[in-house]
Amino acid sequence: MKKINLAIFLSGTGTNFLSLSKACLDPDYPADIKLVISDRECIGYKLSKKLKYKTILIKHLNNAFDFEKKATHLLKKNHVDLICLAGFMKILSPEFVNNWKNKILNIHPSILPLFPGLGTHKKAIASGMKIHGSTVHVVDENLDSGPIIGQCAINIKSKDNKKQIEERLKKYENILYVKSLEKYIKTFHNVENKNSLKKVEKEYNKVIFSI
Ligand code: GRF
């Protein structure tokens, strides 16, 4: 099976990256990680180096465009087909997103369209909701928006604090990213297919698994 080339962008602890990297070891999984880009020397960055991925640190640049210029060069040089944002804290410009239209996925720790942006666990607790979750979606020009590929949900227990919820959710979202990416590649990812976004939109409400 032909695997597609992935780049991972990260800024944090790298649990989603690790989960994707384990999945990619399976010959039947449709992707391989070719490049890991980090904007800081975070745990995920160190982990990627330890696992011997091509790991690039792009930091201390004057503006977002310098980051994107450097990243674009690396993505092309490494023949990357698809970018997975995995806890990446920089907001990408509309120009960059448009240049990689339908080729950037993100994982966001809420059941979108609820709670875009930061502080999602606190927001979910404060809202009084009994469930919380994560979403994998195609990235568009707006923050935490774009067609949804998969979602997972956990229950919020009455005594749960932010840290407990975050830890519990991570275990599920790590699986969610692997499953959603596989689904996206097998079903929709076709660089030549202009209708791919439409097809994703049709599946907008399909939950690939829930708890
Ligand atoms: C995850 O909660 C993800 O949903 C969010 O950032 C966090 C990254 O965690 N976008 P990790 O670095 O993959 O452990």
- pLDDT tens digit string along 114-155? 999 999 999 999 999 999 999 999 999 999 999 999 999 999
Taking the CA of residue 134 as reference, the ligand 1 atom at the shortest distance is 4
CA of 11 from ligand 1 middle (Å) equals 9
Decide: helix, strand or coil at residue 80.
coil
Is the CB–ligand 1 distance for residue 44 below 6 Å?
Answer: yes
- State yes or no: pLDDT of 195 exceeds 90: no
Instruction: Flag whether the pTM goes above 0.75.
Output: yes
Annotated catalytic, 108? yes
Residue 6 pairs in a beta bridge with 33, 82
Average the pLDDT over 75-102 and give the result. 96
In the chain, the amino acid numbered 134 is S
**Identified catalytic residue from 79, 108, 137, 189:** 108
User: Residue 208: what are its φ and ψ, rounded to 5°?
Assistant: -80, -30
Taking the CA of residue 13 as reference, the ligand 1 atom at the shortest distance is 12
Specify the range with the lowest mean pLDDT, choosing from 60-74, 115-129, 165-179. Answer: 60-74
State the span(s) of the chain assigned CATH 3.40.50.170: 1-100, 109-133+140-211
Q: What is the pLDDT of residue 178?
A: 95
User: Band of the pLDDT at 54, cuts 50, 70, 90?
Assistant: very high
Rounded CA separation 12/14 (Å):
6
CA of 10 from ligand 1 middle (Å) equals 8
Residue nearest to atom 1 of ligand 1 (CA): 87
109-133+140-211: which CATH topology? Rossmann fold (3.40.50)
Taking the CA of residue 169 as reference, the ligand 1 atom at the shortest distance is 2
Residue 77 pairs in a beta bridge with none
Q: 1-100 has which CATH code?
A: 3.40.50.170
- State yes or no: pLDDT of 201 exceeds 70: no
pLDDT in tens, 7-41: 999 999 999 999 999 999 999 999 999 999 999 99
Q: What is the pLDDT of residue 11?
A: 97
What b-and-e string marks burial along 114-147, b requiring 16 or more CB atoms within 10 Å of the CB?
Answer: ebeeeebbebbeeeebeebbbbbbbbbeeebbbb
User: Band of the pLDDT at 199, cuts 50, 70, 90?
Assistant: low
